[in-house]
C-alpha cells in the first residue's frame, strides 16, 4: 500500500507516503520533549519493570524494584509516580505496583503475547503488541520472537501475527491482510490519569482494509491512522527507539 489511511468520523482520507515519511523523521525530536524529566535512573527503572513484567507475569511492587536495583524505596516510588504522571511509560494499580509498562501489561487485553522464551503476557494495545518483540530484543540485547494472538475488531475472527525483534512479520491466517489502528489523541490538552481509555483500548487490529472501512462506516469512531504490517514494522523502531532512548 503506497499510502496511509486516515479515519475521520465515518470517512477515510489518504495520506501520501512522502508526507508520512516526513512525519517519521520528526518523531525522534518530538519524543525528546517527553523524556526531558527522565534521568538515567528513570530509564534504568523503566527498563527493569518492562523486562520483569514479562518474566514474573505479575505486578511489580516498588519494594521489589528497590531491593533488586539497590535503591531507596522512597526514590523508587517517586520515580514510578513521575513516569505514571507523564503518561507514556507505565501505570500502577491501587497498591502502587506496576501493572502496565508499555508495551506490555499483566492485565488481560485482546492481544495475548506468546514469547519465543515461552513466557506469556498481554500487549497494552495493538500498536504496543506489535512493538513487544522489538522492545524486548533491544532491552535484552538478544533475538526475540512474539506471537500475537488477537482478533479483528470488526468481525472478531481470530488472528495470529508473528513479529520478531528484527521486525520481520508473518500472518498465520490465509487471506488476512491486517491493519493496525492508532487513535489520534490531543496530548497537549490531555487530562486523563493515564492513556488506557483514550489510546490503549482503542488501538486495535483489523483483518483487512475492507473490514476497517466497514467498521468505521457503521458508526463514528475515534480519529486515527491505519497502518499495514509493513508500515508498522518500519515505524516501530523509530517510535519505540525514541521513547526508550535506546541510542542515548
Within this chain, do residues 96 and 117 fall inside the same structural domain, yes or no?
A: no
pLDDT in tens, 106-129: 999 999 999 999 999 999 999 999
Q: Taking the alpha carbons of 65, 44, 231, 164 in that order, is the dihedral positive or negative?
A: negative
Within this chain, do residues 191 and 84 fall inside the same structural domain, yes or no?
A: no
Provide the pLDDT for residue 124.
98
- End residue of a domain, out of 101, 117, 136: 101
Nearest to 233 by CA among 176, 185, 152, 170: 170
- Cα end-to-end distance, the chain, whole Å: 33
Within this chain, do residues 142 and 30 fall inside the same structural domain, yes or no?
A: yes
Provide the pLDDT for residue 102.
97
Cis check: omega of the bond before 103, within 30 degrees of 0: yes
Residues of the chain predicted below pLDDT 50: none
Provide the pLDDT for residue 1.
66
Task: Kindly give, in sequence order, each residue whose CB lies less than 8 Å from that of residue 233, ignoring residues fewer than 6 positions away.
Answer: 130, 163, 167, 168, 169
Residue range of the domain that includes 54: 39-101
Looking at the structure of the chain, the number of domains it has is 2
Within this chain, do residues 26 and 109 fall inside the same structural domain, yes or no?
A: yes
Within this chain, do residues 138 and 229 fall inside the same structural domain, yes or no?
A: yes
Q: For residues 52 and 222, what is the distance between their CA atoms, to the nearest angstrom?
A: 33
Provide the pLDDT for residue 10.
87
Within this chain, do residues 52 and 10 fall inside the same structural domain, yes or no?
A: no
Within this chain, do residues 30 and 129 fall inside the same structural domain, yes or no?
A: yes
Within this chain, do residues 128 and 224 fall inside the same structural domain, yes or no?
A: yes
Residue the block writes with cell 523503566: 46
Within this chain, do residues 97 and 110 fall inside the same structural domain, yes or no?
A: no
Within this chain, do residues 176 and 231 fall inside the same structural domain, yes or no?
A: yes
Within this chain, do residues 110 and 20 fall inside the same structural domain, yes or no?
A: yes
Provide the pLDDT for residue 248.
62
For residue 63, the domain's CATH number is 1.10.10.10
Tell me the pairing of strands 224-228 and 104-105.
Answer: unpaired
Amino acid at each position: 500500500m503506497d499510502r496511509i489511511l486516515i479515519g475521520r468520523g465515518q470517512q477515510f482520507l489518504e495520506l501520501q507516503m512522502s508526507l508520512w515519511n516526513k512525519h517519521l523523521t520528526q518523531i525522534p525530536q518530538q519524543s525528546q520533549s517527553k523524556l526531558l524529566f527522565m534521568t538515567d535512573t528513570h530509564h534504568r527503572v523503566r527498563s527493569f519493570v518492562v523486562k520483569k513484567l514479562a518474566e514474573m507475569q505479575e505486578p511489580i511492587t516498588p519494594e521489589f524494584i528497590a531491593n533488586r536495583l539497590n535503591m531507596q524505596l522512597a526514590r523508587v516510588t517517586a520515580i514510578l509516580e513521575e513516569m505514571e504522571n507523564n503518561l507514556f511509560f507505565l501505570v500502577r494499580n491501587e497498591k502502587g505496583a506496576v501493572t502496565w509498562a508499555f508495551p506490555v501489561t499483566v492485565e488481560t487485553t485482546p492481544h495475548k503475547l506468546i514469547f519465543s522464551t515461552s513466557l506469556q503476557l498481554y500487549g497494552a494495545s495493538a500498536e504496543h503488541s506489535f512493538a513487544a518483540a522489538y522492545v524486548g530484543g533491544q532491552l535484552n540485547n538478544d533475538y526475540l520472537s512474539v506471537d500475537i494472538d488477537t482478533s479483528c475488531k470488526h468481525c472478531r475472527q481470530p488472528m495470529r501475527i508473528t513479529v520478531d525483534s528484527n521486525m520481520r512479520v508473518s500472518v498465520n491466517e490465509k487471506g488476512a491482510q491486517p491493519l493496525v489502528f492508532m487513535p489520534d489523541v490531543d496530548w497537549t490538552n490531555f487530562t486523563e490519569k493515564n492513556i488506557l481509555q483514550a489510546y490503549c483500548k482503542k488501538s486495535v487490529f483489523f483483518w483487512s482494509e475492507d473490514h476497517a472501512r466497514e467498521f468505521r462506516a457503521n458508526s463514528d469512531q475515534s480519529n486515527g491512522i491505519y497502518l499495514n504490517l509493513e508500515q508498522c514494522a518500519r515505524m516501530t523502531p523509530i517510535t519505540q527507539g525514541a521513547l526508550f532512548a535506546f541510542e542515548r
